[in-house]
Structure 1
Amino acid sequence: MARMVGRPKCDVSCRTGRLMQLIIFEDAGFRNLLPLVYSRCTFNLRCGFNNLLDKIESAMGRTAESVFVRKELAAVIAERQTRRVNQPATSDDQLWVNGRLLLRERLDLPHGAAAWRGDALVAARLDRAAASRLAPELLLDTVKLRAALATCAAAEVPSSLGDIIEFPWQLVQQNSGEIMRQCGQTEMRVSGAVDAGATLLNPDSIHIGEGVRVKAGAVLDAESGPIYVANNVTIHPCAVVQGPCYIGEGCTILPGTSLRAGCSVGMVCKIGGEIEGTIFHGYSNKQHDGFIGHSYVGEWVNLGADTVGSDLKNTYGTVRVPINGRPIDTGERFVGAFIGDHTKTAIRTTLPTGCVIGYACNVAVSGFAPTFVPSFSWVTDKGRAINEPQKALAVARTVVARRNRKYSPAEEALFLSVQRTADEIEVV
């Protein structure tokens, strides 16, 4: 439940028999989640089993009627799902929820109230007239958004219900807890094939989906946390998976992999080497030896053989991360890399602690990569060159085709628009 502060002033009514409609929106906070959200909404970021939108809808017990997103994303989002996009809802009882909210329990906001945390609108419960003022452009302007909701009563949403995700590393920090919470709400059973010679430690805390094969010599260790393996996953011999861990549908865990605690791997990834406390969004490959820890890796990323990322400074000090090129102190000691979609590293690439690599980059350096690599960069020992967007798109077409996918015209237009957006936001 949310707590009221003062008395409602908005003209909000609850009509008998009218169902509250759920609206999910993006706000100005998307900028601090780049480069991970250049080609997706903030509420499509992953933590635990699924994305933030899934968590909001699950906690609220209903599907969102509409989503309000950045205009450059609208056409693609309309293709990918059935909710209304940037179109007003019709009810006089609308609950608007920030897409950056990692919601764990049902949010019940009073009518005519708005809940803020700092500069972030967490949620507001509005009638149709009040909601009609919230256009996509206004939602991205905090000053104008506050003005539009100035007559709403103040409410508080307890942090126990959910957290606003301000920076990418917060998803990584929350990941183990989310896996454990979601496993606790799920029936854990073994449906797939576990070969003789494979080892399941604490099997009651391990879920093996349909079509899974766990080959002889693999070890799934759930003694320190649960393991959820979705459908059609193959775990090869001598792979070790430690819980808490989530492995998404269609993934391949290669021989000798050490998938340590706190990892979520989205669908259709190929994983090898050593990974700890890391989120792979989906459709990305780290097939070879090397280490990635406490990181978030976007879609369609390929990490070359022996790519190694640091997630701890030699001084054991807190890590600063260059969000859009501007350093932010995370207050954390273990922070790895944040890698945008369609980025590739060469063999033996070394990533410094707390680095950010933008969208559609190629990194091929003999020493440490830069701490910040702007989007559409080609970085070598000779310096930085532009990864020309049309050529990058041609490569992307080839990459997605290898997974039996094809970009729509809207997706190609979004891909090309990222450079313009990045040029406006990133500090080179």
Structure 2
Amino acid sequence: MAIILFDDNSRHTLLPLTFTRPVADLRIGILTIAEKWSKHLNSGFSFFTESYLQAKFPMLINDENLFINGSYCPDEALLEAIDKLPAGTPLKYRGQLVAVKLSAADAKEFNTQTDYGAGVNHERIPVSIRYPEDIFKKNDIELRKDFTLLTKGRTSAAISNTNSIIGADFFAEEGAQAECCTFSSVNGPVYLSADTEIWEGAHIRGAFAILPHSQLKMGTKVYGATTVGPYCRIGGEVNNAVIWGYSNKGHEGYLGNAVIGEWCNLGADTNNSNLKNNYTEVKLWDYASQSMRKTGLQFCGLIMADHAKSGINTMFNTGTVVGVSANVFGSGYPPNFIPDFSWGGADGFEEYAFNKMMETTARVFSRRAHREFNDAEKQILEYTFEQTKELRKLNGC
């Protein structure tokens, strides 16, 4: 049976993170949401998403197809409910479509607005991702679930005895390297993927995961729940952050209660605030309503979409949203919302010239031989650039 992860209205409330990917391609815990379903159901996956994303994220239909809402993370109760689901009968949670099994003919006509009937109501509260802050807010839950999923029946590889390991929930894959570091799993598991390097003097407190080909530099301090995706280099102090992959925070500076997309770079001594001086609730810019939205959180830092960058000594205020391919630099605090393809800082912004941005992106991709800056990638950025023109006028571009 083919697994197809579909986008619903959460795609709009998760912007700008979902300008460049389907909802189920979001990483939370150790795995992306799509990878979680794939491992649990022992099957490949594809996506039902926006047309401009389909060249990179195509939908693959089989004779039998299981459509799953990409904003939901699997758990035992959901897996059991889906397993028992008759073909053509929808599984719903509080009126929202969670899953439905369809034939090839019906799959070709799938639409989230189709009325599949009352169906089966799911009673247990699942983990779902509706807003960007949900990713760091619920990362601890998903890190623990993924750790259990990935380590079941396996034995950790040995690492150097120069390290101090506190607690029992520590797992290293073959090829993980660490020297003279401390790992504490007392407050959450610690997972080191293959071909990762934890440099001397790093201190890590779980829950924590680092994915292949990433590095923590000397003296890095990490507090849970934090995920470092593949091909990243991280330094300084990190607390409850999810960094998806191919991104760098290679120097000193604080990153906390944050989500950082792919291909981002935080310049030396970039810092974000995650707590207001008056201790009041943090608001975030909401693309769906084009206004500031209450988060219900006292601690909320930085949301940064793919390809965004900051210069040295950049200061992000509490609850800042940075759009796709924004380039932020200069002294002072920039606004709490920096639209996609903006260039500047506290002294003002201009539109980041599209051809210049594309040249930079091509150079960034060229550093990773296994990733190609192809037409599908270019189409996604071109579409996003056009869709966000009006937003750039908000900061004077």
Q: TM-score, normalised by structure 2?
A: 0.90
How far apart, CA to CA, are the structure 1 residues paired with 2:92 and 2:388? Answer: 28
- Alignment of 1:96 onto 2:67: yes
- Tell me the distance in 2 between the aligned counterparts of 1:422 and 1:31: 13
The CA deviation string for residues 248-288 of structure 1, in whole angstroms up to 9 with x for no partner, is: 11111001100111001100100100001100000100011
What amino acid does structure 2 have at the position aligned with 1:123?
A
For the residues of structure 1 that align with 2:33 and 2:391, how far apart are their CA atoms?
24
Letter in 1 for 2:387: T
Residue 318 (structure 1) shift: 1.9
Distance verdict in 2 for CA 1:415–1:104, change over 3 Å:
same
**1:277/1:425 Cα in 2 relative to 1: closer, same or farther (>3 Å)?**
same
Aligned partners of 1:390 and 1:416 also within 8 Å: no
State which of 189, 210, 214 in structure 2 corresponds to 1:247.
Answer: 210
Match of 1:169 in 2: 133
Alignment of 1:369-380 (within 5 A): 369-380=334-345
Task: Report the residue type matching 1:152 in the other structure.
Answer: G
8 A contact 2:93–2:123 mirrored in 1: no
Name the SS of the counterpart of 2:55 in structure 1. helix
> For 1:50 and 1:395, how far apart are their aligned partners in 2?
28
Instruction: Say which SS state the counterpart of residue 260 (structure 2) adopts.
Output: strand
Instruction: Return the letter of the residue paired with 2:188.
Output: G
C-alpha distance in 2 between matches for 1:270 and 1:356: 22
Q: Secondary structure at the match of 1:48?
A: coil
- Secondary structure of the 2:127 match is strand
**2:119 maps to what in 1?**
154
Counterpart in the other structure of 2:366: 401
Task: Please tell me whether residue 209 in structure 1 is matched to residue 180 in structure 2.
Answer: no
Pick closer, same or farther for the CA change 1:159–1:396 going to 2, 3 Å. farther
Residue 353 (structure 2) aligned to one of 365, 368, 388: 388
Could you tell me how far apart the structure 2 residues matched to 1:354 and 1:71 are?
31
Work out the CA distance in 2 between the residues paired with 1:102 and 1:333: 25
State the Cα distance separating 1:209 from its structure 2 match.
1.7
Question: Of residues 211, 220, 224 in structure 2, which corresponds to 1:261?
Answer: 224
Residues in 1 aligned to 2:192 and 2:299: alpha-carbon distance in whole angstroms: 26
Post-superposition offset of 1:201:
1.4
Query: What is the 5 A alignment of 1:253-402?
Result: 253-324=216-287, 325-402=290-367
Q: Aligned-pair distance for 1:402?
A: 1.8
CA distance in 2: counterparts of 1:398 and 1:152, whole angstroms: 50
Q: Are residues 400 and 315 of structure 1, via their aligned partners in 2, closer, same or farther at CA, if it must alter by over 3 Å?
A: same
Q: Supply the distance in 2 between the matched residues of 1:152 and 1:370 (Cα, whole angstroms).
A: 46
Q: Does 1:421 align with 2:387?
A: yes
Q: What SS class does the counterpart of residue 280 from structure 1 fall into?
A: strand
Partners in 2 of 1:350 and 1:200 — Cα distance? 34
1:159 & 1:392 partners in 2: Cα distance?
A: 45
Structure 2 residue 16 is the aligned partner of structure 1 residue 45: no
Distance 1:426 1:385, change over 3 A: closer
Q: Is the 8 A contact 2:342 2:392 kept in 1?
A: no
Per the normalisation by structure 1, the TM-score is: 0.84
Instruction: State the match for 1:123 in structure 2.
Output: 99
Assess, with a 3 A threshold, how the Cα gap between structure 1 residues 87 and 268 changes in structure 2: closer, same or farther: closer
Deviation at 1:113, TM superposition (A): 2.6
| Rounded Cα–Cα distance in structure 2 between residues aligned with 1:284 and 1:178 | 21
Kindly indicate whether the alpha-carbon contact (under 8 Å) linking 1:112 and 1:152 is maintained by their aligned counterparts in 2: no
Q: CA 1:215/1:88 → structure 2, altered by over 3 Å: closer, same or farther?
A: closer
Matched, 1:225 2:226: no
Q: State the alpha-carbon separation in 2 of the partners of residues 174 and 230 from structure 1.
A: 21
1:198 aligns with 2:179: no
Structure number with larger C-alpha Rg: 1
RMSD over aligned Cα, in angstroms?
2.1
Task: Judge conservation of contact 2:243–2:261 (CA < 8 Å) in 1.
Answer: yes
| Residue deviations 1:333-367 (CA, integer Å, cap 9, x gap) | 11111101111111111111111000001111311
SS of match in other structure, 1:113: coil
The one-letter code sitting in structure 1 at the alignment partner of 2:98 is: V
Give the CA deviation at 1:374: 0.4
Q: Tell me which amino acid in the other structure corresponds to 1:302.
A: N
What one-letter code is carried by the residue in structure 1 that aligns with 2:359? A
- CA gap of 1:192–1:362, structure 2 versus 1, over 3 A, is farther
Q: Pick closer, same or farther for the CA change 1:117–1:371 going to 2, 3 Å.
A: farther
CA change 1:125–1:190 in 2 (3 A) is closer
Structure 1 residue runs without a partner (length 5+): 1-19, 78-84, 140-144
**Separation in 2 of the partners of 1:73 and 1:62?**
22
Change (3 A) 1:87 1:190: closer
Letter in 2 for 1:420: E
Contact 1:29–1:120 (CA under 8 A) maintained in structure 2: no
Question: Which position in structure 2 is the counterpart of 1:56?
Answer: 37
Contact 2:22 2:47 in 1 (8 A): no
Contact 1:122 1:164 in 2 (8 A): no
Query: Aligned partners of 2:281, 2:54: CA distance in 1, in Å?
Result: 37
What is the alpha-carbon distance in structure 1 between the residues aligned to residue 192 and residue 333 of structure 2?
34
The 3-state SS of whatever aligns with 2:54 is: helix
